[in-house]
Amino acid sequence: MVFTVKINYKNRLDLIEPNYPGNYPEQMPIYLEVDWERQEITAFTRNYQIDGTPARQWHGLATVYELPGNTRADKLAEWVKNEIVPSVEKLIDKFESVWNGSNWIGRWSWDDQTEKNMWMFCEQMSAEELGVGNIPTLSDEGGLYHVIDWLENFPTADKYNITADTTDARLQEIADIIVSEAENDDVVLTGDVFEYLQQIREEMQG
């Protein structure tokens, strides 16, 4: 195998992260990067509008592909090795980095077969194909949720026995339980769970 897969996530939710405050979508997009020059494949989250485009991508030495928002991080490396590496290794012999007088840039030597292989790889990495393919994903409802959206249809007070007299210490314990239960359902919560529970208690206090 020519390419090295540098993806070492251990937790299935490691790629589910909130975006910067006030940015859309609320979840930070997930990307797979193929670095053609270094012959490495990595995965990460990034807001390109704020963080910008890294120089290696800008100069064509690496290419990024957006992954589904419910991508399962701990199984991603295996999928990349089995599904992506064979595709990119058909292409790597036609890639080279050249000095243009200012920067190292990527350059391809195109022929009919290389164009076909690249088209097939781009199709493989398209949103439509990834959406129906075998990329490892979380449960259907997995992903990022604001605590209000996650709990609004649950009888939170009744389930956790929250009353007007519940202490802050107990509310914090309940908040920790809710975060843990959400993770068991493949959900990462945004917002302050403890503050949300305080609001429930205040409503009961009248």
pLDDT of residue 128: 85
* Mean local confidence (pLDDT), 53-76: 96
> Sign of torsion, CA 161 139 68 82?
positive
120 Cβ partners below 8 Å, 6+ apart?
87
CB atoms closer than 10 angstroms to residue 12: 20
Please tell me whether residue 99 adopts helix, strand or coil conformation.
Answer: strand
Q: How confident is the model at residue 129 (pLDDT cuts 50, 70, 90)?
A: confident
Beta strand pairing call for 40-45 and 62-67: unpaired
Give me the pLDDT at residue 141, please: 83
- N residues, the chain: 206
Spans of all domains in the chain: 4-132, 143-205
pLDDT at 1 > cutoff 80: no
Q: What angle do CA 170, 172, 174 make, to 5 degrees?
A: 70
Do 200 and 157 contact (CB within 8 A), yes or no? yes
DSSP for 115-168, please give it.
HHHHHHHHHHTSHHHHHHS---B--TT-EEEEHHHHHTTS-HHHHHT--TT--H
Q: What is the pTM of this model?
A: 0.90
Q: Read off the pLDDT of residues 186-201 as tens digits, 9 standing for 90 and up.
A: 999 999 999 999 999 9
Q: Is the pLDDT of residue 99 over 90?
A: yes
